[in-house]
Every structure is written in C-alpha cells, then in structure tokens.
C-alpha cells in the first residue's frame, strides 16, 4: 500500500517495481510481423492507403502501426498532414496510425497505388518490384497490431512519424542488430520466419518507444503521455494508479500519494494529458477490464471487483459509457469496432 506523506513538502518514493510504459504495453497486447519486401528503382512514386483490400492480412486488424525499414537507397516520405522527410539507408520509420502517405524518389508523372503492385506472398510476405530502372531503394515494411484500442494515450502521444535516423548516429546496437535480422529473414522467407519476424518487430517497436521516451526526458516535448511520465508530479500519480488500479482512489488521495495538492495535481493532469486524474484512472481500469474480458474466463462480477467497483451494475455503466457496449457484448463479440473516445466522462470515485 502506498503511504500518505505527512506533508506535501515530503515527496514520496515512486512505487517500487512499477514501469508504467511496460504496464501499458502489456495491457494492449502487441503483435507484429513483416508484410512487404519492396524494391524500387528511380524514379518511382507510390501511395500507401489507410485501408487495404480484404486479402491483405492487415485489413482485418483492429489497430495497426506501420514500420518502414529503409534497407538501401533513399526516398522522400510525405505524411497525411503534408509533412515531408528525406530518409536513407538504415533509417527506421514508425507511423503510429496507418494513415495514407506517399513515398517517392525522383520526378514521377503520377503516384501509383502501392497495393496494386503487390505480388503474391511467399511465406506471408508480399513483394513489389517497381520503378524506372535507376538507383535502387529497398524498403521492408512491418506492422504492430494492438488487439484492444479502448484507451490509447501511448499511440496518440506519438507524432505522426517517428524516425530513428542512422545518419544522426542515434541508432543503438540493439536496434541495428534487430534491423539486420529482420532484413535477412524478409529476404529468406523460409517456413517459420513469420514467428521470428513477429518477435523482432515487437522488440523493435518497444526499443523505438524507449528511445522516444528518453528524448522526451531531454525536454523536446512539453505535453502528452510521454511528457507526463517524466513529470515529477504526474509521473508519480501515474505510477500509483498503475501500481494499484483497483484501489478506490480519489483526486485527494492520489494527490497526497503524489506529494502535492488536489488543485496542483488536477492542473498538471489537464496541462499534460488534457484530462483530469479520475478520468485517466477510469479509462485505465476499463482498458484492463476489456483485456481480461477477452482473454480470460473470470466472471464479470470478479473483474468489476478487481477494477475497484463496488457493484457489477456500476462497472457495467462505466464500461458502456466508455466503450459504447456492455461488458457481456464486448466479451462475446470479436467484430466490434475500435473504441477510442478522446476524453470519455470519468466516473467520480467516492
């Protein structure tokens, strides 16, 4: 149990053993793999859609983040917002949301729809051979899927394009070795390679996130979930909530545990996360409950109690308010749409 400090001036230690980032990643149950091995020759230009035809595996996934691994050559990428970035061999590109974007090198009369160039997959990996016959750019594309998408501060806190740039000598040994293994396996396309590629893509995603958080600690961003992790007050409060999500927290008790006042805690949460502390807590509880409903056999009453609700009826109301459906329907249906409310109404803890 987290003890209340005798005064706000005494800052409590963070709960031992609680890694909020790891806790979040565990709750959203990541899976991943490589789906495309492409070789382009200059000049070329392709448009990658935000939706795929039904025969492409990603079309059936709930939430997908895209990786572009630049194995050789160079190209320009333009995101959905119109931002452009020049990238080259060794660069790793992560797009937290699979939005429409363009990739090209040289002057091309028109952009080609990338899926129209897909060749039949070998061991689950599609391929593209396309371009004008000039200098080659090889791009290997992977994905990360999160099976539940109720509560997503992690993805929304990321910029639309995260680049680990080899040219800036920031790519560490772990990322470099992981990238090398992914490229080799994508070329071999042997039976069983997809299992290895899945593990490697998950490892790559986590390492890119860890490095992004480290850059946030250096002060390159002043709001969002990653900035909140590094904030002295909000970071302690997040540790408390993630350490004991089922505890009957109130804004007052959470503020005491974080070593501050209720007013300051609320102000810091709103400034960094755009929502009050109890809103965050309720959403996190529902995320954990949603995962348990899908992956386990515990009764709804048991899950409700573990989530900190005194009655199943109160839990049902909170769950439906955030997801739009009852816990029973969530558990029994595998085809529900993604629920990601920007700022659901929190249930006030009494």
Give Rg (Cα) of the chain: 22
Q: In 100-176, which ranges are E strands?
A: 101-105, 112-113, 119-122, 125-131, 136-146, 162-164
Yes or no: say if 319 and 284 are a contact pair by the CB < 8 Å rule.
Answer: no
Q: Residue 45: inside a domain, yes or no?
A: yes
Is residue 89 located within the same domain as residue 191?
Answer: yes
Which among 155, 184, 217 is the end of a domain? 217
Residue 156: how many other CB atoms lie within 10 Å: 13
Q: Residue 7: inside a domain, yes or no?
A: no
Yes or no: say if 105 and 76 are a contact pair by the CB < 8 Å rule.
Answer: yes
Q: Residue 340: inside a domain, yes or no?
A: no
Is residue 240 located within the same domain as residue 314?
Answer: yes
Q: What are phi and psi of 177, to 5 degrees?
A: -70, -40
- Rounded alpha-carbon distances, angstroms, from residue 253 to 131, 228, 237: 62, 19, 10
- Report the alpha-carbon distance of residue 274 to residue 22 in Å, rounded: 22
Domain with 164 in it: 30-217
pLDDT in tens, the chain (350 residues): 333 333 323 334 444 445 888 888 887 778 889 999 999 999 999 999 876 555 555 444 567 899 999 999 999 999 999 999 999 999 999 999 888 999 999 999 889 999 999 998 888 899 999 999 999 999 999 999 876 666 678 888 899 999 988 765 555 677 888 888 999 999 887 888 888 999 999 999 988 888 887 777 655 457 888 889 888 999 999 999 999 999 999 999 999 999 999 999 999 999 999 999 999 999 999 989 988 898 888 999 999 999 999 999 999 999 999 888 899 998 887 655 444 443 333 333 33
Burial status of residue 250 (CB atoms within 10 A of its CB: 0-12, 13-18, 19 or more): middle
Q: Residue 69: inside a domain, yes or no?
A: yes
């Amino acid at each position: 149990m987290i003890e209340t400090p005798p005064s706000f001036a005494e800052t409590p230690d963070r709960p031992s053993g609680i890694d909020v980032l790891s806790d979040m990643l565990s709750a959203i149950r990541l899976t991943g793999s490589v789906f495309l091995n492409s070789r382009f020759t200059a000049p070329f230009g392709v448009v990658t859609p935000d939706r795929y035809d039904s025969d492409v595996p990603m079309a059936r996934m709930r939430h997908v983040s895209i990786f572009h691994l630049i194995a050789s050559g160079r190209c320009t990428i333009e995101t959905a917002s119109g931002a452009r970035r020049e990238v080259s061999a060794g660069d790793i590109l992560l797009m937290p949301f699979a939005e429409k974007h363009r990739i090209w090198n040289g002057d091309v009369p028109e952009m080609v729809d990338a899926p129209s160039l897909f060749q039949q997959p070998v061991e689950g990996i599609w391929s593209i051979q396309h371009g004008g016959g000039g200098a080659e750019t090889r791009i290997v594309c992977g994905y990360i899927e999160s099976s539940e998408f109720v509560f997503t501060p992690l993805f929304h806190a990321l910029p639309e394009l995260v680049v680990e740039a080899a040219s800036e000598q920031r790519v560490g040994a772990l990322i470099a070795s992981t990238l090398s293994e992914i490229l080799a396996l994508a070329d071999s396309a042997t039976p069983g390679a997809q299992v290895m590629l899945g593990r490697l893509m998950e490892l790559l995603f986590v390492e890119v996130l860890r490095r992004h958080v480290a850059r946030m600690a250096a002060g390159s961003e002043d709001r969002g979930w990653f900035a909140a992790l590094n904030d002295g007050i909000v970071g302690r409060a997040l540790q408390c909530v993630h350490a004991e999500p089922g505890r009957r927290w109130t804004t007052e008790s959470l503020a005491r545990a974080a070593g501050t006042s209720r007013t300051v805690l609320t102000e810091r949460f709103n400034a960094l996360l755009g929502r009050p502390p109890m809103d965050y807590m309720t959403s996190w509880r529902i995320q954990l409950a949603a995962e348990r409903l899908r992956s386990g056999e515990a009764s709804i009453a048991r899950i409700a109690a573990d989530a900190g609700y005194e009655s199943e009826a109160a839990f049902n109301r909170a769950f439906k308010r955030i997801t739009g459906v009852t816990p029973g329907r969530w558990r029994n249906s595998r085809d529900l749409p993604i629920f990601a409310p920007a700022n659901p109404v929190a249930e006030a803890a009494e």
